[in-house]
């Protein structure tokens, strides 16, 4: 997309998002939108999003947990328990395309800000995205949801970890972040549909639904086998070889999804006889005889340099790579080549992985804001006078960072 001066612009320039979310799923979604040009106004309470305190580490009294999902946003601090504060939301919604919130279900309705009751008619083009733990209905409707709790409840922990090692939480908050991704997709779909209908709509996102949707292939396996699945360590339940292996120097991970790749692996390891072994002719055979195959591969790999051999396999089109820690991954030449870290002054974060041929990411337009850092600025742009803003500050309807 280019403007009249043929200057590259971002894909979501002109889209305004009112962000009433906190913690992770919602802020992750709105940072994706902000990174690609949307104007995101983050509404906080006087004490702010609680993850500001989820550290150490900290910088400028903000935890790493907060700053890495809240760049390119402006912060407005408002007391939404007061009608005057809720009136500000209604004022800001006049120019907003999207509102996203993760209050306890029923809260927006209690505040007379419900979509069906108020917002749908008052702002017919508005897209309202709600993120909740379990949705509003059903036996768990309205209950609070947290990433690890939902991992436990949807079977995700049951298929993670090692056999006989007990159920284990996935180390990254994949439910929160997955919900954030699904929410972003839903918002973009609704924006696209609005071009045809001229109308906004309500998007009902829950951590529970998203977690179930992320459980492939285990749910698919269950539908066919009626077996609930179990933890397999680093091995894949449907593919072999697909596991972590020791080498003479370091551990590597290999994932061989077809017969041609398996033949190339065998030739690279000089165990060509395995290609025609009846136990390993197809992927199904290799899965059924996983233990025998693993023993052959472990013996052969003990004589190779892990990094060098991984690169050899990759060049031959065989998926493999050395097991690295986070520091090694962030400093790897491929990470640098792909510009996957982004910095501004004392801020460093992971870049947006979405790369367009014409549209551009905004980079770090705004560092993560302090609580209420942009309160006066945003309200002035919304049409409030200096006197009105000062009166609301005095009455503690709004707050600003000192």
Sheet of 39-44: strand order equals 202-206, 127-132, 98-101, 16-20, 39-44, 73-78, 398-399
- Residue where the block lists tokens 């802020």: 27
Distance, C-alpha 368 to centroid of its chain: 17
Q: Whole-angstrom Cα distance, residue 136 to residue 107? A: 11
CB atoms < 10 A from the CB of 198, how many?
Answer: 9
Question: Phi and psi (nearest 5°) for 3?
Answer: -90, -170
220 Cβ partners below 8 Å, 6+ apart?
none
- Interatomic CA distance for residues 217 and 206, integer angstroms: 20
CA dihedral for 325, 331, 332, 338, sign (positive or negative): positive
**In this structure, what token pair is assigned to residue 179?**
């919900």
Cα 125 to Cα 61, 97, 128, 196, 202, distances in angstroms: 38, 7, 10, 12, 11
Q: Are 88 and 41 in contact (CB under 8 A)?
A: no
Active site residue 176: yes
Out of 176, 243, 259, 381, which one is annotated catalytic?
A: 176
Q: Where are the alpha helices (DSSP H) in 214-305?
A: 218-225, 259-268, 283-288, 290-301
The DSSP string of 17-81 is EEEE--SSHHHHHHHHHHHTT-EEEEEE-SS--GGGGS-SSEETTEEHHHHTT-TTEEEEEE-TT
Beta bridge pairs of residue 254: 243, 320
CB atoms within 10 A of CB 151: 24
Helix, strand, or coil here: 358? coil
Residues annotated as catalytic are 176
């Amino acid at each position: 997309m280019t403007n009249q001066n043929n200057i590259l612009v971002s894909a979501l320039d002109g889209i305004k998002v009112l962000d009433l979310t906190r913690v992770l799923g919602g802020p992750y979604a709105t940072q994706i939108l902000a990174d690609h040009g949307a104007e995101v106004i983050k509404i906080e309470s006087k004490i702010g999003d609680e993850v500001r305190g989820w550290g150490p580490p900290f910088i400028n009294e903000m935890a790493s947990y907060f700053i890495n999902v809240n760049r390119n946003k402006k912060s407005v601090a408002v007391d939404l328990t007061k009608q005057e504060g809720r009136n500000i939301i209604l004022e800001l919604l006049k120019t907003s395309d999207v509102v996203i919130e993760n209050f306890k279900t029923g809260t927006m309705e209690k505040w007379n800000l419900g979509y069906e009751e108020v917002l749908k008619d008052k702002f017919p083009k508005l897209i309202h995205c709600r993120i909740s733990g379990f949705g509003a209905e059903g036996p768990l409707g309205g209950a609070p949801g947290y990433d690890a709790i939902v991992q436990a409840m949807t079977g995700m922990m049951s298929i993670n970890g090692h056999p006989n090692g007990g159920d284990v939480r996935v180390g990254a908050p994949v439910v929160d972040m997955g919900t954030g991704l699904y929410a972003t997709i839903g918002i973009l779909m609704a924006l696209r549909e609005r071009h045809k209908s001229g109308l906004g709509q309500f998007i009902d996102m829950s951590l529970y639904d998203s977690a179930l949707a992320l459980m492939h292939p285990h749910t698919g396996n269950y539908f066919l086998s009626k077996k609930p699945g179990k933890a397999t360590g680093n091995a894949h339940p449907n593919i072999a070889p697909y596991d972590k292996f020791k080498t003479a120097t370091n551990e590597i991970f290999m994932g061989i999804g077809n017969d041609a790749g398996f033949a190339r692996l065998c030739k690279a390891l000089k165990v060509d006889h395995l290609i025609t072994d009846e136990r390993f002719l197809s992927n199904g055979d290799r899965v059924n005889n996983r233990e025998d195959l693993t023993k052959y591969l472990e013996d052969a790999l003990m004589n190779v340099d892990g990094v060098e051999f991984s690169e050899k396999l990759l060049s031959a089109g065989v998926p493999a790579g050395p097991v690295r820690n986070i520091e090694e991954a962030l400093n790897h030449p491929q990470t640098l080549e792909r510009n996957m870290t982004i910095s501004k002054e004392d801020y460093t974060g992971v870049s947006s992985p979405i790369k367009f041929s014409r549209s551009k990411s905004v980079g770090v337009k705004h560092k993560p804001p302090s609580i209420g850092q942009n309160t006066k600025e945003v309200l002035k742009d919304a049409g409030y006078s200096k006197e009105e803003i000062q009166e609301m500050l005095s009455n503690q309807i709004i707050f600003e960072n000192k």
